[in-house]
Amino acid sequence: MSGEQLTRYRCVMLRRSGASEIRIVRAEDAAAARARLAAAGLDPVSIEPIGPSLFDMLGERIARGGWRFPRLRPAWPARLARPSGAVLTGAALLLATVPFTTAIGAWGLVGLDRWQAARIAKRQAPAIAASVRVAAVERARDDVEAVMAVPSMSGLAGRLRALLPEEAGLVAMALAENGALTVEVETPDPDRLRTALAADPLFGALREIGQTRTEGATIDVILTGRVR
């Protein structure tokens, strides 16, 4: 028998827990529906015929050719006038020129920023030049003060001889351009020499870098340090 002659039946079964179960069965009649459920081991307490489902009605209508998917045809609003072809063409051209106008605008903004930067630099150039000149003068003054602060070799030698003990003698003295002073003193007692030099802040800051014993049983002590 074809599917078009089958009827849908609502069949209600009771479970042992007391809950109900509903199944929809398609059959020729109620007896056939009960027989199908019995074959599955189910015993319905009620069987009621129900109408076809929406899916069944839709399928039947499609099969008869009486229904098709609607076509969407959006209509232009009645209150608005339909634009002419010239207006549509102009709008399309305007949209096409958007990238070019954007690029031109960006180029103009970049040019404006550069012009403003050049204007500010030109306006501040005198002040920058003055600051550079002031900095150069200050550096030159610092260099001159540093040179003037370093005593002369003759002054350093006289100052050192005044500190040396009677048994000690100045052997050599060297002053580098960077202010490094090296002194070599011959003495029989290095400890007494260091005590004597400690009385002067400049020579007291010198550090000993070596000792050499001479043939006359004295010791040459070499000291170095910076005087500026």
CA gap 96, 87 in Å, rounded: 14
Mean pLDDT over 179-184 rounds to 88
Q: According to the model, what pLDDT value does residue 21 have?
A: 84
Per-residue model confidence (pLDDT) at position 18: 75
Query: What local confidence, expressed as pLDDT, does residue 186 receive?
Result: 92
The phi, psi pair for 198, rounded to 5°, reads -65, -15
Highest mean pLDDT among 55-64, 127-136, 156-165: 156-165
Between residues 136 and 75, the one the model is more confident about: 136
Region 143-148 average pLDDT: 55
Check if the beta carbon of residue 218 is closer than 8 Å to that of residue 188: yes
What is the pLDDT at residue 1? Answer: 45
Tell me the average pLDDT across 188-209.
Answer: 89
CATH code reported for the domain at 153-226 = 3.30.1360
Q: What is the band of 2 on the pLDDT scale with cuts at 50, 70, 90?
A: very low
Res. 167: pLDDT tops 70: yes
| Residues in Cβ contact with 85 at an 8 Å cutoff, skipping those fewer than 6 apart | none
- State the pLDDT at residue 67: 56
Those residues with Cβ within 8 angstroms of residue 216's Cβ, 6 or more apart along the chain or in another chain: none
Higher pLDDT, 147 or 169: 169
Q: What percent of the chain has pLDDT over 70?
A: 79
Stretch 59-84: mean pLDDT: 62
Between helices 98-149 and 85-96, what is the axis angle to 10°? Answer: 20
Which segment, 12-21, 105-114, 181-190, is predicted with the most confidence on average?
Answer: 181-190
Q: What is the pLDDT of residue 178?
A: 79
Predicted confidence (pLDDT) at residue 51 exceeds the cutoff of 50? yes
**95, pLDDT greater than 60:** yes
Position 220 pLDDT exceeds 70: yes
User: Is the pLDDT at 3 greater than 50, yes or no?
Assistant: no
Map out the domains of the chain as residue ranges.
Answer: 3-64, 105-146, 153-226
Higher pLDDT, 2 or 51: 51
In the predicted model, is pLDDT for residue 68 greater than 70? no
For the chain, give the mean pLDDT.
Answer: 79
d(CA 55, CA 61): 10
